[in-house]
Structure 1
Amino acid sequence: MNAAIPDLPKHRHTTLEDIQALLLGTLLVASGVFLFHQDHLLTGGTVGASVLLSYATPLSFGLAFFILNLPFYYFAYRQMGAAFTLKTFASIALVSLYSHLLPMVLQIQSLNPIFASILGGTLAGVGCLMLFRHGASLGGFNIAALYCQSRYGISAGKLLLGFDLCVMLAGLWVVPPSAVLISVLSVVVMNLIITMNHRNGRYNGVS
């Protein structure tokens, strides 16, 4: 019989490592959202709900994203702790800021919507993964999914996929069905990245 593999020692992230993860992870997510906006696409989670609101109302994505997350801070503080809540607040603020600044420094003349959905989902998925591994999230559905995984062992990726499908259905009232269908690609890619990489015991770094 094979000998049991011992648990790897936990690696404590430094403050600098946490800061770079928050700065880069949120930039990746905001870049993904930027690509979705280029072809009027959707994505999942609170990010997707905020994109949907930005299409259906005069609110910008950044403002909608910030407002939608306000009710979740109390739950995050009570269930996940002050450090997680502060990092999540910072992450949400950064995504909102980046989303406001990116159109000023980046312009795309032509973009295939299928490629935009796949690349945008990849950027958002990797960005979320960075945040999760450094004790942060993008609020909303992310908080609920991370809590259920840490408390009950339910896969955060699978829970987020369920939330995301609800956002896709709501999108049918705002964007054409063809855009919703293409947007599903972003949800699948993003949640595959999270499900395959964010599992208990997979990563030994802690913040």
Structure 2
Amino acid sequence: MTPSSSTSHLAPGALPTGSPTLSSAPLRHGAFEDAQALFAGTLFVAMALMLFNQAGLLIGGTAGISFLLHYATGLSFGKLFFVVNLPFYWFAWTRMGREFTLKTFGSVALLSLLTELFPHVMRVDYLHPLFAAVLGGLLLGTGCLFLARHKSSLGGATIVALHAQQRYGLSAGKVQLAIDCSVLLAALWVVPLERVAYSVLAAVVMGVFLWISHRPGRYAGG
């Protein structure tokens, strides 16, 4: 009997007897993996916000609200961002669970700290708004992707976007893009049109990046 005939009776996709089986259970992240991913993701986002602040751009969600308050009042972005996100933790706790909420709280606190620290360790003499929009959008998308894959976020609209993906199967990138563009359009009342246009471009770059890279069911890590 030839090897091909010995397995011809098997159903398509079935493994022959004695073959090793593949585990369908996702591999969970360890504490160190979570810590390094949350730090790296938050650091990427902090760098993006530094670029936006330098170029006078905005972002959507609670970060955008914090930027508007920062521009209007002169108060530090880090403190405003931490306070603005406080009401969203109840939603995260009831809809997304304890682990997600605690990791999100830690990420928001770390981002607030990093944005306070960055002006003392990094400065940019010249930055074109177009470059800031593209690079900042990619940094934001990458940072948020790291956080989402390790069950965390940066609060606000990201919590809503991830909940919509988890509960209804909607693309987190599409939901995030819709929320961000809505906030940015509202900023037309206080920010010059040119800066809003660059800010919308940054939101589109971030949203498309997440749309392509963060699809339901693609990533199995926990």
Same fold (TM over 0.5): yes
Instruction: Indicate whether 1:153 and 2:163 are aligned.
Output: no
Deviations 1:3-61 (A, max 9, x none): 69x99541100000000011110010010000001110112222222222211223211
- For the 8 Å contact 1:43–1:121, the answer to whether it is kept is no
TM-score, with normalisation over the residues of structure 1?
Answer: 0.94
2:205 equivalent among 183, 189, 192: 189
SS of residue paired to 2:49: helix
1:40 equivalent among 48, 52, 56: 56
Alignment of 1:45-64 (within 5 A): 45-64=61-80
- For the 8 Å contact 1:8–1:204, the answer to whether it is kept is no
Letter in structure 1 aligned against 2:48: G
Alignment of 1:2-81 (within 5 A): 8-81=24-97
Matched with 1:179 is 195
CA distance in 1, matches of 2:186, 2:77: 17
Alignment of 1:94-105 (within 5 A): 94-105=110-121
Instruction: Indicate whether 1:120 and 2:150 are aligned.
Output: no
Task: Answer with 42-51 or 89-98: which moved more.
Answer: 42-51
- For the 8 Å contact 1:45–1:141, the answer to whether it is kept is yes
CA distance in 2, matches of 1:59, 1:163: 24
Letter in structure 2 aligned against 1:55: Y
SS of residue paired to 1:167: helix
TM-score, with normalisation over the residues of structure 2?
Answer: 0.88
CA distance in 1, matches of 2:165, 2:131: 31
- For the 8 Å contact 1:55–1:174, the answer to whether it is kept is no
Task: Answer with 40-49 or 106-115: which moved more.
Answer: 40-49
State the structure with more CA Rg. 2
Unaligned runs of 5+ in 2: 1-11, 15-21
Task: Answer with 30-39 or 159-168: which moved more.
Answer: 159-168
Q: Compared with structure 1, are the counterparts of its residues 191 and 7 closer, same or farther at alpha carbon in structure 2 (3 Å cutoff)?
A: farther
Q: Which structure's relative contact order is higher, taking Cα pairs within 8 Å and 6+ residues apart?
A: 1
Letter in structure 1 aligned against 2:108: I
How many equivalent residue pairs? 204
- The runs of at least 4 aligned residues of structure 1 exceeding 4 Å deviation read none
Q: Percent identity?
A: 54
CA distance in 1, matches of 2:126, 2:74: 25
Offset of 1:174 from its aligned partner? 1.8
Offset of 1:74 from its aligned partner? 0.9
SS of residue paired to 1:175: coil
Unaligned runs of 5+ in 1: none
SS of residue paired to 1:137: coil
SS of residue paired to 1:172: helix
